[in-house]
Amino acid sequence: MISRKPFYTVVALLFLAGLALSLYRHFVFEVPWLPGEQRQVWSIEAKVEFEATGKPVKASLAIPGTQPGFTLLNEAAASPGYGLSFLERNGGTRAEWTIRQASGPQELYYRVNMMADPHAESPTPVAVPEIAPHTDQEPYATAIHQVLSRALERSSDGFSLTRELIRELGSQQQNAALLAQYRPKPRLLVEMLNRAGIAARVVKGLTLEDGRRRQPLVDLLQVFDDGRVEVVDPATGEPGQIENMLLWERHSSPVLDLVGGVNSRVTFSMIRQQQPVAVALEQKFEDSNLLNFSIHSLPLEEQALFKGILLIPIGVLVVVLMRVLVGLKTSGTFMPVLIAMAFIQTSLVTGLIGFLLIVSMGLVIRSWLSHLNLLLVARISAVIIMVIGIISLFSVLAFKLGLTEGLKITFFPMIILSWTIERMSLLWEEEGAKEVLSQGGGSLLVAVLAYLAMNNDLIRHLTFNFLGLQLTVMAAVLLLGNYTGYRLLELRRFQPLARED
């Protein structure tokens, strides 16, 4: 007896490979297991307004990038007459508008779509700012020293120091009032941290709220210590990701740099949208193609084609199940899959009615053809032409009657239909109507089951997004091909034998 070991090894390998690929897709590319999951996408618009002075204008706006919590999906800028470029500066990106000559009020727009994304990372590590030496005059120097030394006593690292500094400024009222005249609080905190040897900078954040207009940027602290970076709200001192807070500028640059204009102002408005995960992820991984081995990297048209192709193994699996485990007879092994694919195009009820109409009408005409004593090839060809005739007839009829659903009948694969009619009609002549009903019914039943499986949202989602599943289906088919147990219908067929004694 041949050893079955290699076989089971192959099956296990296929199964594991399929599983691993799917897990990889799920965890690395965040493809959810279930369809219909939505992601929040923020559309944020920055509006730059200023008075141009009639000279050449150069307006450079800091723009956000992918960062912890948010993935940049796409961006666009609009402003008639201006030249636009995106530049790298200090590790951050800036949008730069230029025009030879402009005067009067100007409006420049920049729009970005940001997806809320717990897995997002900054593409480049954030550069640690230098620690600048600071010298302060009295009485500020003393006040700073008092606050700092108290805070230093109670802290262990840069982040706890920040927290304690903010707390001290809250409790040492006098010093706080004094220092408030000296420096704005975020600047002051950065300088104090620098004195303690901790790198920090002020960054600009935008609080995201659905439907907000003219939202201002807020100052936040970015504290660097021990290889870590934390964003700290100077008001509370709590470190960590602040919910719905997008860092707009985080490279120690001004938000807006304007030459040739006065009275400038940047305001932000935003809306929140829900987008299906697939669309959002597609944009996210648009250019990381190397490991992103998925159908999503194909052009849209090919994707649509593949969506159908990837479902075929599911239909095939249904056929194998029905034949091997249940024991249903079908006319033509995989004809039900093709019928099921046609049903997907036509919708089930229309498809079933159409199929039955065409086949039964075909059988009637075919029975007449059989009197003509034709050669097989000629007869099949005649049946094909006849099927096309029937389909056209039904389409026109449906259209005239205003049943636009009926037009979908053209989705049926005609050659397949013709062979079905030919087979059924032979079956009828040779084995009688009963066998036609049993095999035709079996095929149709399997087709409907295959349709239900293939048209299922979850299965569509899984097959399309997890190519690894194809390997798992393969493993299942191989296993089924090795099943030596009874078929369901055999339990009935051999029932007279069990009744004995």
Partner 1 sequence: MALWSLPKFTRPRVLSSKGIMGMNRRNIDYISRYNPRRLYPLVDDKLQTKRIALASGVTVPDLIGTIRQQHQVRHLAEMVSEWPGFCIKPAQGSGGKGITVIVRHDREYYTKPSGVQETIDDLERHVSNILAGLYSLGGKQDVALIEALINFDDSFEGYSFEGVPDTRVIVFKGFPVMAMMRLSTDASDGKANLHQGAVGVGIDIGTGRAIRAVQFDQPVEHHPDTGRRLSELQVPDWETLLRLSASCYEMSGLGYLGTDMVMDKLRGPMLLELNARPGLAIQTANGTGLLPRLRQIEALNSSRMSVEQRVAYAREHFSIPVTAATPTAASAG
DSSP 325: I
CB of 341 to partner 1, least distance (A): 22
Distance CA 217, CA 176 (A): 24
Range list of β-strands (E), 208-292: 217-225, 228-232, 245-249, 256-259, 261-276
232, 234, 237, 499 from 171: Cα distances, Å: 19, 15, 13, 93
> Residue 151 has which token pair?
């805070």
- Contact between 490 and partner 1 by CB under 8 A: the answer reads yes
CA distance 47 to 61: 10
- Nearer to partner 1 (CB atom), residue 300 or residue 375: 375
Q: Note whether 5 binds partner 1 by CB under 8 A.
A: no
Interacting residues of 263 by C-beta distance below 8 A, sequence separation 6+: 49, 50, 51
Judged by CB under 8 A, the stretch of 121-129, 167-175, 452-460, 486-494 that binds partner 1 is 486-494
If the CB atoms of residues 80 and 496 are measured against partner 1, the closer one turns out to be: 496
Least distance CB 496 / partner 1 (angstroms): 6
> Is residue 492 a contact point for partner 1 (CB under 8 A)?
yes
Which run of H or E residues covers position 355?
Answer: helix 348-369
Work out whether 173 is an interface residue with partner 1 (CB under 8 A): no
Distance in Å, CB of 429 to partner 1, minimum: 10
Establish if 497 lies at the interface with partner 1 (CB under 8 A). Answer: yes
The dihedrals phi and psi of 469, each to the nearest 5 degrees, come to -60, -25
Three-class SS of residue 128? coil
Q: Which of 300, 377, 400, 402 binds partner 1 (CB under 8 A)?
A: 377
Does the protein bind partner 1 through residue 6 (CB under 8 A)? no
Q: Is residue 339 a contact partner of residue 416, using CB atoms and an 8 Å limit?
A: yes
Neighbours of 294 (CB within 10 A): 20
Rule CB under 8 A: say whether 373 interacts with partner 1: yes
Stretch that binds partner 1, among 122-130, 253-261, 263-271, 477-485 (CB under 8 A): 477-485
Distance CA 240, CA 222 (A): 10
Residue placing its CB nearer to partner 1 in the complex, 272 or 487: 487
Q: 169 forms bridges with which residues in the sheet?
A: none
Binding mask 426-455 for partner 1 (x = CB under 8 A): x---xx------------------------
Out of 46, 299, 375, 474, point to the residue binding partner 1 (CB under 8 A).
375
User: Is 152 a binder of partner 1 (CB under 8 A)?
Assistant: no
- How many residues bind to partner 1 according to rule CB under 8 A? 28
Q: Does 376 bind partner 1 (CB under 8 A)?
A: yes
Count CB atoms within 10 A of the CB of residue 151.
23
**136, 139, 143, 149 alpha-carbon torsion, rounded to 10°:** 60
Examine residue 401 and tell whether it contacts partner 1 (CB under 8 A). no
Q: How far is CA 343 from the centre of its chain?
A: 27
Nearer to partner 1, 300 or 497 (CB): 497
487 binds partner 1 (CB under 8 A): yes
Per CB under 8 A, 368 contacts partner 1: no
- Binding part of the chain for partner 1, among 289-297, 334-342, 402-410, 481-489 by CB under 8 A, reads 481-489
**Sign of the torsion formed by the C-alpha atoms of 397, 399, 400 and 401:** positive
Nearer to partner 1, 286 or 490 (CB): 490
Reading the block at residue 319, the tokens are: 């056929």
* Least CB distance to partner 1 at residue 327 (A): 7
User: What does each C-alpha distance from 105 to 47, 57, 83, 265 come to in angstroms?
Assistant: 13, 12, 17, 11
The region of 182-190, 192-200, 202-210, 480-488 touching partner 1 under the rule CB under 8 A is 480-488
What track of x and - describes contact with partner 1 for positions 316 through 345 (by CB under 8 A)?
A: --------x--x------------------
Residue numbers of the site for partner 1 (CB under 8 A)? 2, 324, 327, 373, 375-377, 426, 430-431, 482-488, 490-500
